[in-house]
Chains A and B, each alone.
Chain A
Amino acid sequence: MSAKPFNWREPRGLGLFSVGVFLFLYLPLLVIVIFSFNTGRQVTIWEGTSLKWYASVFANRDIGVALRNSLVVAVAAMVLSTLLALAAALGLRRSANARTDKVTLGLILLPLVVPEIVVAVATLVFFSGIGLKLGLGNLTIAHTVFCIPFAFLPIQARLSSLGNDIEDAGRDLYSDEWQVFRRVTLPLLMPAILSGAMLAFAASLDDFLISMLLADAGQTTLPVYIYGMLRVGVTPDVNAVSTLLLVSSVLIVLLALSIQYSFRKK
């Protein structure tokens, strides 16, 4: 009577271990958020609550410029990578050649495996070698490339779970290919496209290394600017601007995932 029946789905001790890991993942980030509201100049000694570091961040024109650069690049890279990924995913679905499919997939996933510093260096010497100077355009191209896998994967997953029946039904009802795409495939894909686009946006916002090596004067993105602030010294403004970036990334990704989740349940 006393002992509960044995259940392997209750691994003993692992619960505590897992809580520990999650604390390890989140407590350090919480430190930044909490101390961004600190009154004192001392970064890690609590002196009271205030929003003054946020005020100083919003008053800083350089941060405004950096934020604008980040957003311009992220939006452009998001649109470009999502369009390219959507077309390629639709193309792969129509393909009959398994061997070229593997090459395409390998190319798409390449940015996930090659170390970021290698991508950064290769892109830098390439742009300088061909003398490409498009201002933020250079950054946008580089970001588009590494955002492609993030935009592609949700779209691909959704497409492969759709099956051909619904589109075939459209064709049976005398729709041409464009009408099938416009009226059947696209609406069904929309949640995946949206979440892929948002993940691409978040990936662009997340980048530091590639932007740092590629950005010329005046093209500084927000993470590169924060890195510059850190070089000068750890000040409370860094906490405030980091918190803003952190919170916006989390919100975007939560939104993207909730869109994905909502259509998966249907």
Chain B
Amino acid sequence: MIRANTSIALQAPLLATMIVFMLLPMGVAVIYSLLTNGAFGGAQLPFTTAAYRQLLFLEDFDGSLLFSTAYLQIAFRSVWLASATVLACIAIGLPLAWYIVCASPAKRGWMLLLVTLPFWINTLIRTYCWVLILRDEGLLNFGLQNVGLTARYIQFLYNDFAILLGMVYTFLPFMVLPIYSVLERVSGSVIEASHDLYADRLTTFRRIVWPLSKPGVVAGSLLVFAPALGTFLAPDLLGGGKRLMIGSLIQLQFTSSRNWPFGAALAVVVSIAVLLVLFLMVRKNFDKVLGR
């Protein structure tokens, strides 16, 4: 009994911190999303669903509502870009993870370090380096012109591809590590058995490695999709701030647009979307994700 009490007492400070400063604020954000926009930022009573209506409708001067797809388009772009990021990360991360698993233990450690390290470098810096490369007077244009491939500069920045590139660059480690940790546990004898039964490399990959890697792919997809959906820096720096994603739209509501309830409503919508994906993936693959 004494053990149980100390156990709770030791966990209590952290639990209290997480509840007061993580869960409670998310609840407060829900309340804010239901308030009226304040004149100088902030929010005030009475309660209203105006912020959520604003997602789908434009309010006309006479108060009538016009259906508008402007924000839906931004939401759609965000989901599209986040999904494309997940797919690209799988396409790059899965073969890389497999290669690392196949390597000798010493080499494995080094390669894992190389995959992990970028995660710890500031995302702002990691996005900014692509500005240096892709902008009009950047390295890529400089190189292309010096080689003589192009006469004038090409605009590489400020399009969806640049945003996608920045997102894949940012989130790739989240995909490689879970896949690696799943594949690492795969016994070599399974692979050898497949080859002994005359499967070539591709068949072995398709029929053995890919199915076994699925729990890692699911976990990785989740870890990439969640932050990618709300990403701010890639659309802001590489998309020029004009090709908005939900993340940059939310940020705008708390800075220049000063519409806190709308910003909070958008944040609520993003959270619900992420939780939904989390729920669907985890429910389908719960045991697999836990490695059972």
Contacts and interface: CB of A to CB of B under 8 A. Distances in A.
B120 interface: yes
Given A115-B247, A126-B28, A242-B125, A91 B8 contact: yes
A141 B17 CA distance: 9
B17 A125 contact: no
A12 interface: yes
Contacts of A261: 109
A24 interface: yes
Interface in B76-97: 92, 95-96
Interface string B94-113: 01101110110000010101
Given A110-B22, A114-B271, A202-B120, A91 B254 contact: no
Category for how many chain B residues contact A: 35 or more
Contact of A87 (B14, B128, B226): B14
Contact of B96 (A21, A94, A227, A257): A21
The interface residues of chain A, by DSSP majority, are classed as helix
B201 A116 contact: no
B182 interface: no
Given A44-B138, A88-B11, A31 B118 contact: no
Nearest to A206: B122
Nearest to A144: B17
Contact of B260 (A32, A35, A125, A205): A125
A108 B124 contact: no
Contact of A124 (B6, B247, B254, B271): B254
Given A18-B99, A91-B10, A227 B124 contact: yes
Contacts of B23: 107, 110
Contacts of A172: none
Interface in A204-225: 205-206, 208-209, 212-213, 223
B8 to A, nearest CB: 7
Interface string A237-254: 011001001100110111
Contacts of A88: 10-11, 13-15
Nearest to B195: A8
Given A17-B99, A87-B10, A249-B120, A115 B32 contact: no
Nearest to A113: B226
A230 B99 contact: no
A117 B120 contact: no
Interface string B219-230: 000110011011
A125 B32 contact: yes
16 contacts: A28-B133, A29-B129, A84-B17, A91-B9, A92-B7, A93-B7, A94-B3, A112-B223, A114-B271, A116-B227, A121-B254, A148-B14, A205-B122, A206-B120, A234-B132, A250-B120
Interface of B: 3-4, 6-15, 17-19, 21-26, 28-29, 31-32, 42-43, 92, 95-96, 98-100, 102-103, 109, 111, 113-118, 120-126, 128-133, 135, 137-139, 142, 169, 172, 188, 191-192, 195, 201, 204, 222-223, 226-227, 229-233, 237, 246-247, 250-251, 254, 260, 263-264, 267, 270-271, 274, 278
Given A44-B139, A242-B128, 9 more contacts: A32-B128, A84-B13, A94-B6, A107-B22, A113-B278, A121-B29, A208-B122, A230-B128, A234-B131
A-B pairs with lowest CB-CB distance, top 3: A91-B10, A115-B230, A126-B25
